Amino acid sequence: MTPLLELSGLTKAYPGVVANDDVSFRIAPGEIHALLGENGAGKSTLVKMIYGLVQPDSGTMVLNGVPFQPASPHAARAAGIGMVFQHFSLFEALDVAENVALGMENPPPLRDLAQQILRVSTTYGLPLDPHRRVGDLSAGERQRVEIIRCLLQDPKLLIMDEPTSVLTPQEVAILFDTLRQLAAEGTAILYISHKLEEIRTLCQNATILRRGTVVAECDPRERTAQDLAELMVGTALTAPEGGGRETGAPLLSVEKLTLPPSAAFGTMLKNVSFTVHAGEVLGIGGVAGNGQDELLATLSGERPVPPGALFLEGRDIGTAGPTVRRAAGLLAAPEERLGHAAAPEMSLTENAVLTAVVRQGLARRGFLDWRAATAFAERVIAEFDVRTPGPAHAARSLSGGNLQKFVIGREVLQAPRVLVVNQPTWGVDAAAAAAIRQALLDLARDGAGIVVISQDLDELMEIADRFTALNEGRLAPPQPMAGLTMDRIGIMMGGAHDMEVAHVAE
Partner 1 sequence: MDLSSINPVLLLASLMVAATPILLAAIGELVVEKAGVLNLGVEGMMITGAICGFAVAVESGSPALGFLGAALGSALLSLVFAFLTQVLMSNQVATGLALTLFGLGISSLMGQGYVGIKPPGTPDLDLPVLSDLPVLGPILFSHDLVVYLSLGLVAGVWYGLNRTRAGLILRAVGENHDAAHALGYRVTLIRTAAIAFGGACAGLGGAYLSLVRVPQWTDGMTAGAGWIALAIVVFASWKAGRVLLGAYLFGGIAVLQLNLQAAGARVPVELLSMSPYLVTIAVLVIMSADRSRAALNAPAALGRSFHAAR
Partner 2 sequence: MIRLEPRREPSRVWAAATPVLAVLATMVAGGLLFAMLGKDPVLAIRTIFWDPLFHPQFASYSRPQLLVKAGPLILIAVGLALGFRAGVWNIGAEGQYIIGALSGAAVALALYPADLFVLFPLMVIAGALGGFLWAMIPAILKTRFNTNEILVSLLLVYVAEQMLASAALGLLRNPDGGGFPGSRNLRDYPAAHNAEIFAGTGMHWGVAAAFIAVIFAHVLLTRHITGYHIRLTGQSPRAARFAGVNPARLVILCLGISGALAGMAGLFEVAGPAGQISIDFNVGYGFTAIIVAFLGRLHPVGILLAGLLMALTYIGGELGQLMLGLPAAAIQAFQGMLLFFLLAGDVLTNYRLRFGRTEAV
In the list partner 2, partner 1, none, the entry touching 59 (Cβ below 5 to 8 angstroms by class) is none
Instruction: Confirm if 32 and 183 have CB atoms less than 8 A apart.
Output: yes
Residue 397 in contact with partner 2, rule: CB under 8 A: yes
State the helix-helix crossing angle for 139-151 and 169-184, rounded to 10 degrees.
10
**Gap between the Cα atoms of 142 and 238, Å rounded:** 36
Residue whose C-alpha is closest to residue 491's, from 474, 476, 480, 504: 476
Among 99, 300, 423, 425, binds partner 2 (CB under 8 A): 300
Among 65, 306, 308, 321, binds partner 2 (CB under 8 A): 321
Residue 279 in contact with partner 2, rule: CB under 8 A: no
Instruction: Confirm if 424 and 393 have CB atoms less than 8 A apart.
Output: no
Helix, strand and coil content of the chain, in percent to the nearest 5, comes to 35, 25, 40
Residue 73 in contact with partner 1, rule: CB under 8 A: yes
Piece of 88-96, 176-184, 358-366, 386-394 that binds partner 1 (CB under 8 A): 88-96
Residue 263 in contact with partner 1, rule: CB under 8 A: yes
Piece of 9-17, 97-105, 120-128, 199-207 that binds partner 2 (CB under 8 A): 9-17
State the helix-helix crossing angle for 400-412 and 430-445, rounded to 10 degrees.
10
**Residue placing its CB nearer to partner 2 in the complex, 201 or 323:** 323
Torsion of CA 369, 374, 377, 379, to 10 degrees: -110
The CA angle 407-411-413, to the nearest 5 degrees, is 115
**Residue placing its CB nearer to partner 1 in the complex, 149 or 410:** 149
Residue 45 in contact with partner 1, rule: CB under 8 A: yes
| Amino acid, res. 414 | Q
C-alpha Rg value of the chain to the nearest Å:
24
How many residues of this chain interact with partner 2, rule: CB under 8 A?
A: 37
In DSSP notation, 258-298 reads: EE--SSTT---EEEEEEEEETT-EEEEE--TTSSHHHHHHH
Instruction: Confirm if 276 and 312 have CB atoms less than 8 A apart.
Output: no
In the list partner 2, partner 1, none, the entry touching 203 (Cβ below 5 to 8 angstroms by class) is none
Among 393, 445, 474, 503, binds partner 2 (CB under 8 A): 393
**Residue placing its CB nearer to partner 1 in the complex, 234 or 344:** 344
Residue 43 in contact with partner 1, rule: CB under 8 A: no
In the list partner 2, partner 1, none, the entry touching 345 (Cβ below 5 to 8 angstroms by class) is partner 2
Among 169, 334, 391, 401, binds partner 2 (CB under 8 A): 334
In the list partner 1, partner 2, none, the entry touching 39 (Cβ below 5 to 8 angstroms by class) is none
CA 214, 215, 220, 225 torsion: positive or negative?
Answer: negative
Q: Tell me the closest approach of the beta carbon of residue 371 to partner 2, in angstroms.
A: 12
Residue 54 in contact with partner 1, rule: CB under 8 A: yes
Torsion of CA 300, 303, 309, 314, to 10 degrees: 40
Q: Which residues of the chain form contacts with partner 2 (CB under 8 A)?
A: 13-16, 18, 57, 300-302, 321-323, 326, 332, 334, 336, 339-346, 350, 353-355, 357, 363, 366-368, 393-394, 396-397
Q: Which residues of the chain form contacts with partner 1 (CB under 8 A)?
A: 14, 19, 45, 52-54, 72-74, 77, 85, 87-94, 98, 101-103, 107, 263-264
